[in-house]
Amino acid sequence: MATIHVDGRSYSVDGADNLLHACLSLGLDIPYFCWHPAMGSVGACRQCAVKQYKDADDDKGMLVMSCMAPVQDDARISIDDEEAREFRASVVEWLMINHPHDCPVCEEGGHCHLQDMTVMTGHDRRRYRFRKRTHRNQYLGPFIAHEMNRCITCYRCVRFYNDYAGGSDLGAFGANYNVYFGRYQEGTLENEFSGNLTEVCPTGVFTDQTHSDRYTRKWDLQFAPGICHQCAVGCNISPGERYGEIRRIENRYHGEVNRYFLCDRGRFGYGYVNRKDRPIEPEWRGEPEADAVALDVNAALDRGSDALRDAYRIIGIGSPRASLESNHQLRELVGEGNFSTGIAAEEQACLELMAELNRTCGLPTPSLWDVEKHDAILVLGEDLIQSAARLGLSVRQAVLGRQGALAEDRGIPVWNAEAVKTLAQDRGYPLFLAYPVATGLDGIAEDSLRLAPDDIARLGHAVAHRIDASAPDVPEPDDRLVRAAERIASALMAAERPLVVSGGSLNSTAILNAAGNIARALSRRARQGGLTLVRREANSTGLQLLGGQTLEWALEQLEAGQADALVVLENDLYQRLPGLCVRHALARARTLIVLDHQRTPTLEQATLALPAASFAEADGTLVSLEGRAQRFFQVYDPGYIRPETRIRESWRWLHALAAGLRREKVADVTLDLVTRDCARRYPVLAGMVAAAPGADYRVQGVKLAREPHRYSGRTSMRANISVSEPRTSQDPDTPFAFSMEGYNGFDRPRQSVAFAWAPGWNSPQAWNKFTDEVGGHLRAGDPGVRLLEPSPGDWVYSSHIPPAYRRPAGEWCIVVLPRLFGGEETSARAEPIQARAGQAVAVLGPEDAAALKISEGGHVRVIAGEGSWILPVRVEAGCPAGLLCIPEGVDPALLGGMSVSLAVSGDQPLDGPGVAGEVHP
Amino acid sequence: MTDAVSRLRYRCQLNQGADERREETHPLTWRLNDDGRPVFHKEYVEKDGYAAVRQALNELTGAQVIDAMKTANVRGRGGAGFSAGVKWGLTLQGEGMPRGYIVCNADEMEPGTFKDRLLMEQIPHLLIEGMILAAYANNARYGYIFLRGEYIEAARSITRALDEAREAGWLGADIAGSGFDFDIALHTGAGRYICGEETALINSLEGKRANPRAKPPFPGQSGAWGKPTAVNNVETLCNAPAVIRHGAEWYQALSGDLSDDGGTKLYGVSGRVKRTGLWELPIGTPGTELLDRAGGIRDGQQLKAWLPGGGSTGFLLPEHLELALDFDTIGQAGSRMGTGLLTVVTDQQSIVSLMRNLEAFFSRESCGWCTPCREGLPWTVKLLQALERGEGERGDIEMLDQLAIGLGPGRTFCAHAPGAAMPLSSALHYFRHEFEQGVRHETGPAHADPIPVGEV
**What is the C-alpha separation between A393 and A384, in angstroms, rounded?**
8
Residue A65: closest CA among chain B residues belongs to which residue? B411
Residue A67: closest CA among chain B residues belongs to which residue? B214
Instruction: Confirm whether A886 is domain-assigned.
Output: yes
Reported as a pLDDT band with limits 50, 70 and 90, residue A249 is very high
Instruction: Confirm whether A832 is domain-assigned.
Output: yes
| B57 Cβ contact partners less than 8 Å away, ≥ 6 residues apart | B132, B136, B175, B176, B178, B180
Q: Report in angstroms the alpha-carbon separations of A871 from A505, A731, A835, A907, B141.
A: 21, 49, 18, 9, 54
pLDDT of amino acid A399: 98
Instruction: Confirm whether A52 is domain-assigned.
Output: yes
Instruction: Indicate the residue among A76, A95, A114 that finishes a domain.
Output: A95
Nearest CA among A859, A782, A828, A856 for reference residue A236:
A782
Please answer yes or no on whether B217 and A172 come within 8 Å at the CB atom.
no
* Beta strands at A222-223 and A236-242: parallel, antiparallel or unpaired: antiparallel
Instruction: Note the pLDDT tens digit of each residue in A102-151.
Output: 999 999 999 999 999 999 999 988 899 998 999 999 999 999 999 999 99
Of B217, B375, B393, Cβ closest to residue A94? B375
Of A64, A179, A410, Cβ closest to residue B217? A410
* Beta strands at A785-786 and A628-632: parallel, antiparallel or unpaired: antiparallel
| CATH assignment at residue A55 | 3.10.20.740
Instruction: Give a three-class secondary structure readout of chain B.
Output: CCHHHHHHCCCCCECCCCCCCCCCCCCCCCCCCCCCCCCCHHHHHHCCCCHHHHHHHHHCCHHHHHHHHHHHCCECCCCCCCEHHHHHHHCCCCCCCCCCEEEEEECCCCCCCCHHHHHHHHCHHHHHHHHHHHHHHHCCCEEEEEECCCCHHHHHHHHHHHHHHHHCCCCECCHHHCCCCEEEEEEECCCCHHHHCHHHHHHHHCCCCCCCCCCCCCCCCCCHHHCCEEEEEHHHHHHHHHHHHHCHHHHHHCCCCCCCCCCEEEEEEEECECCCEEEEEECCCEHHHHHHHCCCECCCCCEEEEECCCCCCCCECHHHHHCECCHHHHHHCCCCCCCCEEEEEECCCCHHHHHHHHHHHHHHHCCCCCHHHHHHHHHHHHHHHHHHCCCEECCHHHHHHHHHHHCCCCCCCCCHHHHHHHHHHHHHHHCHHHHHCCEEECCCCCCCCCCCCCCC
Q: Report in angstroms the alpha-carbon separations of A652 from A674, A688, B207.
A: 9, 19, 62
**What is the C-alpha separation between B412 and B405, in angstroms, rounded?**
11
pLDDT exceeds 80 at position A913? no
Of B364, B375, B393, Cβ closest to residue A95? B375
pTM above 0.90, yes or no: yes
Instruction: Indicate the residue among A95, A116, A139 that finishes a domain.
Output: A95
Residues A734/A740/A746/A751 CA torsion (nearest 10 deg): 10
Please answer yes or no on whether A90 and B413 come within 8 Å at the CB atom.
no
Region A414-438: mean pLDDT is 97
pLDDT of amino acid A499: 98
| B153 Cβ contact partners less than 8 Å away, ≥ 6 residues apart | B9, B121
**What is the C-alpha separation between A501 and A229, in angstroms, rounded?**
21
Instruction: Confirm whether A397 is domain-assigned.
Output: no
**What is the C-alpha separation between A272 and A690, in angstroms, rounded?**
30
Instruction: Confirm whether A31 is domain-assigned.
Output: yes
Please answer yes or no on whether A419 and B214 come within 8 Å at the CB atom.
yes
**What is the C-alpha separation between A538 and B282, in angstroms, rounded?**
78
pLDDT of amino acid B455: 46
Instruction: Confirm whether A833 is domain-assigned.
Output: yes
Instruction: Note the pLDDT tens digit of each residue in B236-282.
Output: 999 999 999 999 999 999 999 999 999 999 999 999 999 999 999 99
Q: In angstroms, how far is CA A920 from the centroid of its own chain?
A: 35
pLDDT of amino acid B5: 58
Residue pair B202/B231 in contact by the 8 Å Cβ criterion: yes
pLDDT exceeds 50 at position B454? no
Residue pair B250/B241 in contact by the 8 Å Cβ criterion: no
Of B366, B372, B410, Cβ closest to residue A94? B372
pLDDT of amino acid A915: 41
Please answer yes or no on whether A176 and B221 come within 8 Å at the CB atom.
no
Region A339-350: mean pLDDT is 98
Please answer yes or no on whether B370 and A155 come within 8 Å at the CB atom.
no
Of A68, A119, A425, Cβ closest to residue B214? A68
The structural domains of chain B, ordered by start, are: 3-253 (3.40.50.11540), 264-346 (3.10.20.600), 351-441 (1.20.1440.230)
**What is the C-alpha separation between A484 and A788, in angstroms, rounded?**
32
- Kindly state the DSSP code that residue A195 receives in the 8-state scheme: G
- B-chain residues near A20 (CB < 8 A): none
Instruction: Note the pLDDT tens digit of each residue in A198-245.
Output: 999 999 999 999 999 899 999 999 999 999 999 999 999 999 999 999
Instruction: Note the pLDDT tens digit of each residue in A710-729.
Output: 999 988 889 999 988 899 99
Q: What share of chain A is helix, strand, coil (3-state, %, to 5)?
A: 30, 20, 50
Query: In this complex, how many residue pairs, one in chain A and one in chain B, have their CB atoms less than 8 Å apart?
Result: 121
Residue pair A38/A261 in contact by the 8 Å Cβ criterion: yes
Q: In angstroms, how far is CA B203 from the centroid of its own chain?
A: 19
pLDDT exceeds 50 at position B456? no
Best residue in A18, A20, A46 to probe B by mutation, most B CBs within 10 Å? A46
Domain that holds residue A847: 812-919
Of A44, A124, A416, Cβ closest to residue B450? A124
Q: What percent of chain A has pLDDT over 90?
A: 91
- B-chain residues near A68 (CB < 8 A): 214
Residue B323 neighbours by CB distance under 10 Å? 19
Region A31-50: mean pLDDT is 97
Helix, strand counts (H, E) of chain A: 26, 37
Best residue in A99, A154, A177 to probe B by mutation, most B CBs within 10 Å? A177
The mean pLDDT of chain A is 95
Instruction: Indicate the residue among A65, A95, A125 that finishes a domain.
Output: A95
Residue pair A299/A307 in contact by the 8 Å Cβ criterion: no
Please answer yes or no on whether B411 and A95 come within 8 Å at the CB atom.
no
Q: What's the total number of domains in chain A?
A: 2
- A-chain residues near B366 (CB < 8 A): 175-177
Please answer yes or no on whether B370 and A416 come within 8 Å at the CB atom.
no
Instruction: Note the pLDDT tens digit of each residue in A291-328.
Output: 999 999 999 999 999 999 999 999 999 999 999 999 99
- B-chain residues near A128 (CB < 8 A): 379
Residue A125: closest CA among chain B residues belongs to which residue? B450
Best residue in B95, B202, B370 to probe A by mutation, most A CBs within 10 Å? B370
Instruction: Confirm whether A896 is domain-assigned.
Output: yes
User: What residues are paired with A901 via a beta bridge?
Assistant: A863
- B-chain residues near A422 (CB < 8 A): 213, 217, 222, 226
CA atoms lying within 13 Å on the CB side of residue A745: 8
Reported as a pLDDT band with limits 50, 70 and 90, residue A908 is low
Environment class of residue B262 by beta-carbon count within 10 Å: exposed (0-12), middle (13-18) or buried (19+)? buried
Closest CA–CA distance from residue B426 to any residue of chain A (Å): 21
Give chain A's largest Cα–Cα span.
92
The DSSP result for A137-190, as a single string, is -----SSEEE-GGG-----HHHIIIIIIT---S-EEES-TT--EEE-SSSS---
Residue pair A340/A555 in contact by the 8 Å Cβ criterion: no
| CATH assignment at residue A864 | 2.40.40.20
**What is the C-alpha separation between B91 and B190, in angstroms, rounded?**
28
Residue B375: closest CA among chain A residues belongs to which residue? A94
Instruction: Note the pLDDT tens digit of each residue in A457-494.
Output: 999 999 999 999 999 999 999 999 999 999 999 999 99
pLDDT exceeds 80 at position B444? no
Region B309-324: mean pLDDT is 97
Of A44, A122, A423, Cβ closest to residue B370? A44
**What is the C-alpha separation between A226 and A578, in angstroms, rounded?**
33
User: What residues are paired with A744 via a beta bridge?
Assistant: none
- A-chain residues near B413 (CB < 8 A): 43-44, 46
Amino acid sitting at position A841: V
pLDDT exceeds 50 at position B23? yes
**What is the C-alpha separation between A734 and A235, in angstroms, rounded?**
20
Residue B365: closest CA among chain A residues belongs to which residue? A176
pLDDT of amino acid A909: 57
The DSSP result for A846-874, as a single string, is HHHHHHHT--TT-EEEEEETTEEEEEEEE
3-class DSSP state of A737: strand
**What is the C-alpha separation between A727 and A781, in angstroms, rounded?**
34
pLDDT exceeds 70 at position A776? yes
Nearest CA among B136, B119, B233, B142 for reference residue B178:
B136
- Kindly state the DSSP code that residue A686 receives in the 8-state scheme: G
Reported as a pLDDT band with limits 50, 70 and 90, residue B4 is low
Please answer yes or no on whether A95 and B221 come within 8 Å at the CB atom.
no
Nearest CA among A751, A736, A733, A748 for reference residue A691:
A751
Instruction: Note the pLDDT tens digit of each residue in B279-289.
Output: 999 999 999 99
**What is the C-alpha separation between A420 and A741, in angstroms, rounded?**
47
